[in-house]
Structure 1
Amino acid sequence: MTQRVGIVGMGLMGQAFIQNMRKSQFMVQGFDLDPRRVDQLRELGGHPVDTPADAAKDVDCVIVSVPTSDISREVNLGANGIAEGAAEGLYVCDTTTARPEDSETLFADLAERGIRYMDSCVSGTSTMAEAGDLVVIAGGNEEDFEACKPYFEGFSRAAYFMGPAGSGARTKLVINLILAGNRLALAEGMVLGEKAGLEANNLLKVLQDGACSSKTMIDKGPKMINADYSKQGQIKISIKDSRLMLEQGQRLGSPMLLTSVMQQVFQAAYEKGYGEKDTVSFFEILRGMAGLEEREGIDDVPFGKPE
């Protein structure tokens, strides 16, 4: 029997979830405010619905993919939210990169309504998501995690239970911190190499084959060289994430030296008009600081600050 799943939020990641869950024979009913995304759902064989509450009807699980904690709370508990359409025992797998404390609160508030919530963050770019090459990192109740594994398997290659509610969100912030640092180091190195007269493609090949190689270097290095800033992530989202990291560092008394610098670089990129572009478009900021020509680059969105 075909399983049905609800999806709320059908952006870059949500669309990839839908593609892979349809391939895994799930019937998807989805909600998004953007009519273009609704049309894409239809093209993929899914069923559009009018509200998050409708997405929660007649399913055992709803996957949430929205930009912030506040939006997640609204689609879960606001007017026409998931809670209004949910039967008791519904699983909500929230992939939002959220403030961990907000995830804890949402877990408790939904539990009062008989809804089983997990902060089910994912590690990977939208391109990796399209290939099903995501890792799920979940916080909540372990028995709920086990029950939701078939859904995770529909759009990811691995899933890890990290502990109580908020643990998935905390793990995601650690992952994003390390990713941002890796990308900043690569960008600095590539700019230094260019200033020193090294050929960029040859330099990148050596870096990718040497001791400093990493998955993000392999994925993002060519985008930097080619000024390919078609979005797999976005500067404006990276700003939000870095603020959450800094907030956690302050809350826990943990040094955030690299993140403090990275947040300023992201902000500078935003102010230069790169907010909607891929995360590594900050490379142009470093190029400009080094006296190199800034390139507008290949893109899939207009140049300028997001509204």
Structure 2
Amino acid sequence: MDAGDHAERFTLLRPLLFTIAYEILGSATEADDVLQESYLRWSQVDLDQVRDTKSYLAKLVTRQALNALRAGSRRREDYVGPWLPEPILVDDHDAAQDVVLAESVSMAMLVVLESLSPDERAVFVLREVFGFEHQDIAAAVGKSVAAVRQVARRARQHVHARRKRFAPPDAAVTARVTEQFMSAAATGDLEGLLALLAPDAVWTADSGGKTTASRRPLVGAERIAALVIGLFHRSLPTDLRFETVACNAAPAVAAFVDGRLTGVFLLTTADGKVTDLYAIRNPDKLLAMTGAKRISRR
């Protein structure tokens, strides 16, 4: 077998394969592990028997991602506080050229995907995001084509019902609102924060019990504004700084203390108002932010 040919084909499709694994798992760290395991299996494949490299590798990665998702289900059940997907830095160019891709990796969409069963999540991702045929998906998840069609319909209805709250991300609007929100928070402008927050806005913080954070989602503009003012104006480290980053295909805010990343804050907007705020504080989930990931639907 030609190891170079195996590596060349895999490397060419790696952004696509990473994106599939990440959207199924909600974890960049686990997605990288899945790709490593998938490559080991791929390196043993007789390439003369592979008619469609993209379909074959997508099937291989999906199976490994589903195995990892099921294996980690108990760990998520025992997680301290809300569980949020891992944030990732992405290449602006990748997402800017593909609205569907940008929405599919947004924190809001990934949170919705968390409410699906493993099979529903894999089928939805493969069909709605990547456009694979039902027959190829059936081979990837180990179900009949008829069963896959049913799962796809059920998952699509569930996702559409849950995501009515938000529209596909508009990077320009999100960037403007994020900047205004951070400015209001930094200056203690309570009225400014209330003007930016939707009345039923939700604050969700993920710390895994490893840092200080709310262990239940906080609902309501007044409660969130008070929390944010308190966070910004209590005794904070003098070496705290904030930086705008391209995270999950949208502008986000990264917090650093003494040069170390301590939190990532993502905002979801609708009609110019903040509807959801996601605060990822678990240091383990911030490890994936060390470098930008290449994502793709092709």
Whether these two folds match at TM > 0.5 is no
Q: Which has the higher contact order (CA 8 A, sep 6+)?
A: 2
TM-score by length of 1: 0.31
